[in-house]
Chains A and B, each alone.
Chain A
Amino acid sequence: MKTTYLYQTDEALLALFANKKDTEAIKMLFDRYAHLVFAISFGILKEVHAARLATVHLFINIMDLAERVPITNFKAWLYQITRNHCLAQNNIVLDTADFLVHEKLNSAYLQELEIYKFVQHNPEASNALFEKVQSSNDAENIAELFYTHKKSFKEIALLVGNDEFSIRTILYKYRLHLIQAALEVISHQKLDLHAH
């Protein structure tokens, strides 16, 4: 496998496959995500063989769709089609709320990198953000234990008296809250610049 492919983005690899029929590109994507697709399929289908078949089926679908469907965020799209495929196999009717959640996820993934770059190179935004997020105390404490004291989910769960799933959900929401606050700070700074 070409070493340059290791540093290519998912979308670039998909474009390489769609335009030049480069099998190495799709194999790289398979190496990156096949095990995750298998695990999610197993979580829904509860059977190893069925999960393996679903993984192969999904990657064949990706190969066929790569030329026809414009994919802006491969990871979010793959997560969505994996869930849809497995739920459909189990005859579980998809809820419209499920689609909305995934649309939200898709847009969040795209924004995150830009926001991170902005906050990283902008100490004023970072300070404003710090003041904004201090409102929720429980989440703040858990975030401090995780990010500053480097405690694991299990350790925090024992300390707080909660289960690991809830701890992860709190941290996930805290991060989303931070991103939301970052967006507000960025828009405020832009408004200030226009006013001056």
Chain B
Amino acid sequence: MRIKDTAYIMQPSACLTKQQLNAYVLNVLEPEELNAVEFHLCSCWFCYDAAHALKQFKMDWSAHLDLDKQFIDEHLKMQNEIIADQEVPVVINKTFKNTRSIWTGLLFFLLLVSWLFILYLLNNTYHFY
């Protein structure tokens, strides 16, 4: 064997396409293309297993190999809907919010008044001495 072939054997190649796989199963590939396909099959278990499985039934597989990919969008849409349903909406009770603010205001006002009263008392106490 020629020395340069050692590198050639290890050359990486792409996996078989639908058309290549179907043509290989039906035995209708041109010699050059057949060599390219078999070259890849020598290194890839994935493609070899696939070709071997289909080769047991010598029929046109093109209709079966064209799989519909609409389910990808549908699955993602469904997933998003589930996520949207799971989110708990935050309900703001307006009357409760208003009453709460009134009571807080009142409390602050009372605190202010009490502090002023204490200051007033302290001021008066100082004058006694």
Contact = CB atoms under 8 A, between A and B. Distances in A.
Interface residues of B, number: 47
Contacts of B71: 56, 59-60
B16 A119 contact: no
A76 to B, nearest CB: 8
Interface of B is mostly: helix
Q: How large is the interface on A (under 10, 10 to 19, 20 to 34, 35 or more residues)?
A: 35 or more
Contacts of A147: 1, 5, 8-9, 39
B50 A30 contact: no
B110 interface: no
Contacts, number: 137
Interface of B: 1-12, 15-18, 21, 31-32, 34-35, 38-39, 41-43, 45-54, 56, 61, 64-65, 67, 69, 71-73, 75-76
Interface of A: 21, 23, 26-27, 30-36, 38-40, 42-44, 48, 52, 55-56, 59-60, 63, 75, 78-79, 105, 112-113, 115-116, 119-120, 126-127, 129-130, 133, 140, 143-144, 146-148, 150, 152-153, 165, 168, 171-172, 174-175, 178-179, 182
